[in-house]
A and B are shown apart, each in its own frame.
Chain A
């Protein structure tokens, strides 16, 4: 990006009097990009604080969608780069704040966050507070290399997130509709469902169920969650 700009500048005949230095241009561009970003150093970790309106909102995830603009992963990286440059050029001040009291994981040496907090086999599609930490603002899952989840737990969380979406437990994590889109009036109101394993449009009706010994069963929930902790003596029925 910068090489291209330099080449463009060299090609264009610049006016002698009004020519701005490279650093000045960079400063302007970075300030424009970063006017809404305030940089704080909190203890041993660096957490960007985004100013929205009057108050500053703490984000726990770099993919947080603020009200005025959507921060894509590349946008966040750009902001991080120019913040670092501004800091080294002494444009912004670092203020060391004491860390807030955050609860510590009971098993800090594990690589997967679920194992760190000993939550394996203990979560379900209803634990929305847990699931919302691993999803994007439009409802999709965050990649494994970012979250640090191991493969099995990543699939289990993905399955639970899918079931939570179908049950309507994540109403604010829908993909954004195109601008100026008018939703059609729906003829049927949405049906309530829970523990839906398959996509709604992909399932076919079972016209012939068969005899009792060879019945075509309807599956409920997912077999990946069959090892979940159960506090009742009844077994988990996946095929109804």
Chain B
């Protein structure tokens, strides 16, 4: 396995350093112990107006929530210096878009319609069909619908990078500065619980162990023939 490490400074929040290696994206945060106010004025201005690169893992996440997080950061609304004319949006990289999870029956019920303008070209695809055709299309359309409907939308969409799996190209990996937490908590499968956890969970009910199905509820101790009390 090849490892490569590069460091890049991120201005946001308390300054953080980012470490990653190429085989799959692994992000660690190490808190720096110096304040941004100790920077020189030019360094502070550079840090304020720099364009960051955010990473979001969309595995088992609802695409709408991912899209809203993306749209906020593409517009620059997460920055206190926001202005719609300023073009201070950041880049957002979404990986594992193939493994998004829709709530409810939306895979079958949600329909994406399109019309090129020519007669007979009205196409309607369910979310499942759309996802099979192009695994990044659902998130792309969701983000496009959430961005402001003006000319800056196209440039913001150019700054959105979608990848169906967790394989990211080298140049994008080098640019990443921060990984955002996932919006939805992924529930654990029964097979992922350890035996100790399963034993620690109390038994809510005990079966009535007796010979015949319609037996009385009073059970007797076979040794002493005395009735058992639960």
Contacts and interface: CB of A to CB of B under 8 A. Distances in A.
Given A60-B203, A129-B201, A193 B211 contact: no
User: Secondary structure at chain B's binding surface: helix, strand, loop or mixed?
Assistant: loop
A147 B205 contact: yes
Contacts of B201: 129-130
A129 B189 contact: no
B212 interface: yes
A45 B221 CA distance: 8
B210 A80 contact: yes
Q: Report the interface size class on chain A.
A: 35 or more
B111 A207 contact: yes
A48 B208 CA distance: 12
Contacts of B31: none
B229 A41 contact: no
Contact of B103 (A73, A146, A220): A220
Given A44-B230, A205-B108, 13 more contacts: A41-B223, A47-B209, A62-B207, A63-B207, A113-B204, A125-B187, A129-B198, A168-B189, A195-B103, A196-B104, A204-B108, A206-B109, A240-B103
Interface in B181-229: 187-191, 193, 197-198, 201-213, 219, 221-223, 228-229
A211 B142 CA distance: 19
A77 B209 CA distance: 8
A217 B141 CA distance: 19
A131 B191 CA distance: 13
Interface stretch (B20-28, B45-53, B87-95, B125-133): B125-133
Nearest to A189: B98
B109 A102 contact: no
Nearest to B190: A128
Nearest to A206: B109
A46 B105 CA distance: 45
Q: Report the interface size class on chain B.
A: 35 or more
B187 A169 contact: yes
A218 B109 contact: yes
Contact of A193 (B103, B189, B191, B205): B103
A188 interface: yes
A116 interface: yes
A77 B211 CA distance: 5
A207 B207 CA distance: 49
8 contacts: A41-B221, A46-B222, A170-B190, A191-B128, A193-B103, A198-B105, A204-B109, A221-B104
Contacts of B210: 80
